[in-house]
Amino acid sequence: MLSTSSPAELLRLSTLRDVLRSPGPCITILLPPYRPGEPAGSPATVLKTSIREAARQFAEREVSKAARTDLLQPIESLAEDPTFAAGSHWGRAIFRSPSVFRQFDLTQASQPFLNVAGCFSIRQLTAELARPRVFYILVLSKTRVALLRCAGFHAEIAKLPAGVPETLTEALELEPPDHDLENRSAAGISTGNMHGVRFGTGSGRETARVHLADFYKLVDRGLQEVLRESEIPLILAGVDEDATVFRAVSNYRHLSKKGIGGSAYGSFRQEEVLEQAYSILRNDDLEREASSLRIARERVTATRFSTDPDTILHAAFEGRVSQLYVNQSAEKIDVFERRSYQNWGKEDLLNLAAVQTIIHYGKASVLPAELMPEASTIVGIMRF
């Protein structure tokens, strides 16, 4: 029975796994972000173009007119929806099969894309599956900080942990200065085993930097009390000078290497901040996946490490692939013959391997060619 289309939602692994189990034919459409007035076509225009091309491909593959009409009618209705034509700051993925009609908002930009095959196309979407449900942005300035809690497409001001000063003035007032070159301030209740924080009372730029470093140290230690156990990503926002000082005193393991630039405290626009933040998180994930692949290549036995596409594809159908890495630049277009799989013509077999890996509770990642060993098109780490 057809799952009626719901409002667009964020893509989650558990949801995608259910969608991927749908038998074909499967239509995958990706729509780029769009703002009214831009020279690129509106979502409705791009969608109508995709519908015409999908109809042409179905006719070419001798799919019956009744089946074509049934598959495309819900997408045609979506294209006529006035609210859909208004556009969005975010991209969108549309999945349609005889039993599925789902829409997913995307945190990454995409180019217009259409695929008609025996399964949905997900190679462009694997980064969405690594997106954290929650992360924080720490907005820095030389006088104060603010914490943003981010989830999906929303960012809101979050309270700093109890005992953590919001401003440099509050930090300096934790204990009145005694005019020594090294004063000590009692640590707040959220600073762990910290017995005191030094505040130098020298003069000039060096003293100001010491004050700022001590302020940031209090903030960092307080945040770790909240974030440490859950391993939540933290991204810095502010000018490079402030971010450099904070990184020098921070011990938080999940602090992103890159930050969001900006000089005016409180001037960040939510959509722009989130767009930059998700780009940073994707780069962090790429580094982790590339590192995991290097380690696997060194430690996994030869019988469990394969770069042969055919071997990997059959192993994926058998549920033996634990981790899959696909070369972002590679394709393997062919017809796949297997009793348990109904093909609908030629398709990307690397994508099919990724689909089957996820269906069988493995993990699939797409990496740039330069991060793949010896320019391999695909790498599979087998369970057995």
Domain residue spans of the chain:
1-129, 135-289, 300-384
- Global pTM value: 0.84
Find all residues with CB under 8 Å of 299, minimum gap 6, and list them: none
Whether the Cβ atoms of residue 146 and residue 158 lie closer than 8 Å to each other:
no
Confidence at residue 298, expressed as pLDDT on a 0 to 100 scale: 93
Residue 41, classified by CB atoms within 10 Å of its CB into exposed (0-12), middle (13-18) or buried (19+), is: middle
**Which residues, 6+ apart, have CB-to-CB distance to 65 below 8 Å?**
none
113 neighbors 30 (Cβ within 8 angstroms): yes
Tell the CATH superfamily of the 1-129 domain: eRF1 domain 1 (3.30.960.10)
Q: What is the dihedral of CA 304, 310, 316, 321, to 10 degrees?
A: 20
Class of 300-384 in CATH: alpha beta
Q: What parts of the chain have a pLDDT lower than 50? A: 1-4, 176-201
Q: In CATH, which superfamily holds the domain spanning 135-289?
A: eRF1 domain 2 (3.30.420.60)
Lay out the sheet containing 145-151: strands in order across.
154-158, 145-151, 135-140, 234-237
Residues 6+ apart with CB under 8 A from 212: 142, 168, 242, 245
- Which pLDDT value is given to residue 263? 64
Alpha-carbon distance of 214 to 250, in angstroms, equals 11
Domains 1-129 and 135-289 share a fold: no
Distances (CA, A) of 287 to 131, 280, 281, 283, 291: 14, 11, 10, 6, 6
How many CB atoms are located within 10 Å of the residue 330 CB? 17
CA nearest 284: which of 247, 259, 321, 250? 259
Cα 108 from Cα 337, distance rounded (Å):
33
CA distance 87 to 105: 12
Question: How would you class 159 by CB atoms within 10 Å of its CB: exposed for 0-12, middle for 13-18, buried for 19 or more?
Answer: exposed
Number of neighbouring beta carbons within 10 Å of residue 250: 20
- Residue-wise pLDDT for 55-75, tens only, equals 999 999 889 999 999 999 999
